[in-house]
């Protein structure tokens, strides 16, 4: 080696190349996760849903999985936490106005996005940034509206609603601070309503899992409370009915006398 006219790459060059390859792989992965169903791996098509971890699915694929959890080879690894339709949310997505009916870009479009980027089917309804995996996007669990993290940050600054900074790395792993309302429809949202889409941040995913467990506990408590209230109402109604019947019977006996 070294006598054939070639050069031996230095360690620093090899490290740079490795990091460059890893960055490219991560970008490709995020683009694939943004355009394909996490379960079937087929292209996303409406209606599109997400789980509490921000993964995207075709609704029909989730239904197929719920009917037969062996329908997809790795289904139990990907969405074992999806037990029913209450564990998914139908997303409200804005179509990319720069694409024509054939799905290709209109040359006259002014939608924000890089020309060489893969065609994105959806955009943020506030900033018009394309949802192609290069920028962090989020959705509100309560209403299903999808928007860019940038829109939430800017709207948060305008309304003075606390710290809503994201990391802007395209992973959808911005912070999960409370916001007063959805930036798209204006509906009030809870502090745990904002779900980053396709986050790769382990800490954020742990937080989302904790919030998913808390949401389920809260829903179970509400269901038990409603069931108890219904049972009490039925018992009260039955008691009232017996009392009315007894009164009517007594009244009838008095009339006979």
Per mean pLDDT, which of 8-12, 71-75, 164-168, 245-249 is the most reliable? 71-75
**How many other CB atoms are found less than 10 A from the CB of residue 239?**
10
Give the residue among 96, 127, 83 at the shortest CA–CA distance from 219: 83
User: 37: exposed, middle or buried (C-beta count within 10 Å: 0-12, 13-18, 19+)?
Assistant: buried
Q: How far is CA 84 from the centre of its chain?
A: 15
Q: Helical H runs in the chain?
A: 11-35, 59-67, 75-79, 149-159, 202-256
Q: What is the token pair recorded at 183?
A: 């930036």
Comparing 51-55, 110-114, 217-221, which segment has the lowest mean pLDDT? 110-114
Query: Which pLDDT score is estimated for 181?
Result: 86
Closest CA to 31 of 140, 173, 172: 172
pLDDT, mean of residues 165-178: 46
Sign of CA dihedral 77, 206, 90, 223: positive
Q: What is the pLDDT of residue 129?
A: 95
Q: pLDDT, tens digit, for every residue of 99-139?
A: 866 555 555 455 554 444 457 999 999 999 999 999 999 99
Task: List % helix, strand, coil for the chain (3-state, nearest 5).
Answer: 40, 15, 45
Percent residues over pLDDT 90 in the chain: 44
Distance CA 190, CA 162 (A): 14
Q: Specify the higher pLDDT residue, 184 or 192.
A: 184
Q: Using the predicted structure, report yes or no on whether residue 51 has a pLDDT greater than 90.
A: yes
Task: Please tell me which residue, 24 or 33, carries the higher pLDDT value.
Answer: 33
pLDDT bracket for residue 50 (50, 70, 90): very high
In this predicted model, which residue has the larger pLDDT, 20 or 72?
72
Is pLDDT at 212 greater than 50 in this prediction?
yes
Distance CA 192, CA 179 (A): 9
What does the alpha-carbon distance between residue 28 and residue 43 come to, in Å, rounded to a whole number?
A: 15
Over range 26-39, report the average pLDDT: 90
Could you tell me the pLDDT band of residue 229, with boundaries at 50, 70 and 90?
A: confident
For residue 134, how many other CB atoms are within 10 A of its CB?
18
Q: Which residue has the higher pLDDT, 219 or 199?
A: 199
For residue 110, the tally of other CB atoms under 10 A from its CB is 9
pLDDT single digits (tens) 59-101: 999 999 999 988 898 888 899 999 999 999 999 999 999 886 6
Ranges 28-42, 150-164, 175-189, 207-221: which has the least confidence? 150-164
Q: What integer best gives the mean pLDDT of the chain?
A: 79
Question: What mean pLDDT comes out for the span 189-195?
Answer: 86
Q: What DSSP line would sit under 76-87, residue for residue? A: HHHHTT--SGGG
**What average pLDDT score do residues 35-56 get?**
96
Q: Phi and psi at residue 249, in whole multiples of 5°?
A: -65, -45
């Amino acid at each position: 080696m070294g006598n054939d006219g070639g050069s031996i790459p230095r360690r620093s060059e090899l490290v740079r190349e490795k990091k460059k390859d890893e960055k490219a792989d991560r970008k490709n992965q995020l683009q694939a996760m943004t355009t394909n169903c996490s379960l079937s791996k087929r292209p996303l098509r409406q209606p599109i849903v997400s789980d509490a971890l921000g993964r995207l699915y075709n609704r029909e694929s989730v239904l197929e999985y719920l009917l037969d959890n062996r329908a997809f080879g790795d289904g139990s690894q990907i969405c074992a936490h999806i037990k029913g339709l209450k564990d998914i949310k139908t997303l409200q997505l804005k179509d990319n106005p720069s694409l024509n009916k054939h799905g290709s870009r209109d040359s006259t479009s002014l939608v924000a996005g890089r020309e060489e980027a893969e065609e994105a089917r959806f955009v943020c309804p506030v900033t018009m940034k394309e949802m192609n995996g290069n920028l962090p996007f989020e959705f509100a669990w309560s209403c299903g509206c999808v928007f860019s993290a940038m829109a939430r940050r800017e709207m948060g600054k305008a309304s003075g609603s606390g710290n809503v900074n994201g990391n802007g790395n395209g992973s959808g792993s911005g912070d999960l601070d409370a916001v007063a309302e959805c930036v798209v429809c204006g509906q009030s949202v809870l502090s745990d309503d904002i779900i980053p889409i396709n986050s790769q941040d382990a800490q954020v995913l742990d937080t989302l899992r904790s919030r998913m467990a808390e949401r389920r506990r809260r829903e179970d408590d509400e269901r038990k409370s409603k069931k108890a209230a219904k049972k009490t109402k039925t018992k009260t109604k039955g008691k009232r009915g017996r009392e009315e019947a007894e009164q009517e019977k007594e009244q009838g006996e008095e009339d006979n006398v």
